[in-house]
């Protein structure tokens, strides 16, 4: 996928498709549980679409990218409970929404001005954004703009037919989704019933541990404390490096389980959080010259990262469903960031 921004020749059909979709007002008869797919003619990947707006509060078309995007959507739809600051990080989608003017940024307004378009009134201004877990919602690339244009055009087709045929999206089984597929040999879009591909599980991250260093740490330990809680999570504040897309770094936090005292806090880049989780843990042991009797973690990934170290040092590593002291500190941290934004 190219990171180049769309040209005016690519922006123009996207705005035209968005306005045609908006004028259809299909949110008057569609629920956000009505899902259909549109295959990307260039990559073959499927975006799963849902229309938002039947309650009148927010009008948009969301395109959840691939099975990973679809599963994120299904998690949100299921009512699964997770911290509100983490909800952004389960969304992998493109979004075309209709907003008030003040929600647009200068980059959006510049494109509208160059295209000679005019919008007035509440929820009238098209806004296009890309959502990726771990990243700040951002402007579209050229490839994303072209694909979103095709999705909006196919959404008009599907939504129009659904108005007249309420059974249109009812497939042969619950696992099947109606997907619009472009047949190049016939130069036309057709309906197909497809089952989403399995999610590609990422390879487990393995951080090599220096056994000589562990022997030295074990030898310098003067005492053992009770219980620590350790976790990592996305910072609520995004950062940007040069011209790259802004991302949310990871906060790695160590908390004393009984007192709630913050033992250590570390900010890690997206690609470094796994190795930093181990390295900063070792640094903390070397600095304090004591090890806990027990460590509590929630994430399977963190358990697997720390297990080689804790096994060697005789620490009881336990996976739990709640980290009360750490989660309390996390809430306080999030509230602090929000106060700073006001």
Per-residue pLDDT 10s for the chain (342 aa) are: 467 999 999 999 999 999 999 999 999 999 999 999 999 999 999 999 999 999 888 999 999 999 999 999 999 888 777 676 678 888 999 999 999 999 999 999 999 999 999 999 899 999 999 999 999 999 999 999 999 999 999 999 999 999 999 999 999 999 999 999 999 999 999 999 999 999 888 787 888 989 999 999 988 877 777 899 999 999 988 898 888 899 999 999 999 999 999 999 999 998 899 999 999 999 999 998 888 999 999 999 999 999 999 999 999 999 999 999 999 988 888 777 766 665
Report d(CA 273, CA 267) in Å as an integer: 8
For the chain, the structural domain boundaries read 8-194, 211-341
pLDDT for the residue numbered 342: 59
> Residue 93's CB: how many other CB atoms inside 10 A?
23
Strands (E) located in 55-198: 59-65, 93-99, 125-131, 177-183, 188-194
Other Cβ atoms within 10 Å of 95 Cβ, number: 19
Question: What CATH number is given for 211-341 in this structure?
Answer: 3.30.420.10
User: In 119-175, which residue ranges form alpha helices assigned H by DSSP?
Assistant: 142-164
* Whole-number CA gyration radius for the chain: 24
Query: pLDDT at position 338, please?
Result: 67
Q: 199, exposed or middle or buried, with CB in 10 Å at 0-12, 13-18, 19+? A: exposed
Rounded Cα–Cα distance for residues 329 and 183 (Å)? 54
Compute the distance between CA of residue 331 and CA of residue 342 in angstroms, rounded to an integer: 17
| Cβ(58)–Cβ(97) below 8 Å | yes
Given a contact cutoff of 8 angstroms between Cβ atoms, the answer to whether 253 and 230 are in contact is yes
Q: Give the CA distances from residue 76 to residues 2, 43, 136, in Å, rounded to whole numbers and listed in that order.
A: 29, 26, 19
Question: What's the pLDDT tens digit per position in 109-126?
Answer: 999 999 999 999 899 999
pTM of the model: 0.90
Provide the pairing of β-strand 290-297 with 223-234: parallel
Distances (CA, A) of 53 to 60, 75, 97, 102, 123: 7, 19, 10, 20, 11
Kindly state the helix (H) or strand (E) to which residue 91 belongs, with its residue range.
none
Residues 6+ away with beta carbon under 8 Å from 125: 98, 99, 100, 101, 103, 104, 108, 112, 119
Asked whether the beta carbons of 139 and 130 are under 8 A apart, the reply is: yes
Question: What ranges in 165-252 are assigned the alpha helix state H?
Answer: 211-220
Q: Which pLDDT value is given to residue 79?
A: 78
Q: What pLDDT is attached to residue 205?
A: 82
Residue 186, both tokens: 């016939």
pLDDT in tens, 85-114: 678 888 999 999 999 999 999 999 999 999
Q: Which residues contact 92 (CB under 8 A, 6 or more apart)?
A: 64, 65, 66, 68, 69, 72, 131, 132, 133
141 close to 149: Cβ distance less than 8 angstroms:
no
Give the model's pLDDT for residue 48: 98
- Listed in sequence order, the residues at least 6 apart from 338 whose beta carbon sits closer than 8 Å to its beta carbon are 236
**Would you say 317 and 306 are in contact if contact means Cβ atoms under 8 Å apart?**
yes
């Amino acid at each position: 996928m190219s990171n180049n921004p769309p040209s005016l020749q690519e922006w123009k059909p996207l705005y035209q498709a968005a306005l045609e979709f908006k004028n259809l007002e299909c949110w008057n008869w569609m629920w956000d549980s009505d899902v259909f797919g549109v295959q990307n003619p260039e990559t073959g990947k499927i975006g799963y679409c849902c229309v938002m707006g039947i309650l009148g509060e927010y009008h948009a078309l969301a395109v959840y990218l691939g099975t990973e995007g679809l599963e994120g959507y299904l998690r949100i739809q299921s009512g699964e409970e997770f911290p509100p600051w983490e909800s952004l990080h389960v969304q992998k989608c493109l979004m075309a929404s209709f907003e008030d003017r003040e929600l647009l940024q200068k980059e959006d307004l510049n494109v509208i001005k160059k295209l000679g378009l005019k919008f007035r009134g509440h929820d009238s201004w098209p806004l296009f954004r890309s959502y990726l877990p771990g990243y700040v919602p951002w402007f579209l690339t050229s490839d994303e703009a072209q694909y979103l244009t095709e999705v909006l055009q196919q959404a008009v087709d599907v939504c129009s037919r659904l108005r007249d045929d309420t059974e249109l999206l009812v497939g042969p089984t619950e696992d099947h989704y109606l997907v619009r597929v472009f047949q190049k040999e016939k130069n036309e879009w057709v309906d197909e019933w497809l089952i989403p591909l399995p999610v590609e599980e990422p390879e487990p991250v393995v951080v090599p541990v220096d056994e000589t260093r562990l022997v030295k740490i074990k030898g310098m330990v003067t005492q053992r404390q009770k219980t620590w809680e350790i976790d990592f999570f996305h910072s609520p504040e995004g950062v940007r490096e040069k011209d790259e897309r802004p991302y949310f770094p990871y906060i790695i936090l160590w908390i004393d389980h009984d007192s709630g005292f913050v033992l250590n806090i570390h900010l890690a880049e997206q690609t470094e959080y796994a190795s930093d989780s181990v390295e900063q843990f070792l640094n903390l042991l070397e600095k304090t010259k004591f090890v806990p009797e027990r460590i509590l973690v929630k994430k399977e990934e963190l358990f697997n990262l720390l297990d080689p170290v804790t096994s060697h040092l005789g620490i009881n590593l336990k996976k739990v469903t709640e980290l009360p002291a750490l989660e309390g500190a996390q809430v306080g941290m999030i509230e602090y960031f929000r106060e700073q934004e006001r």
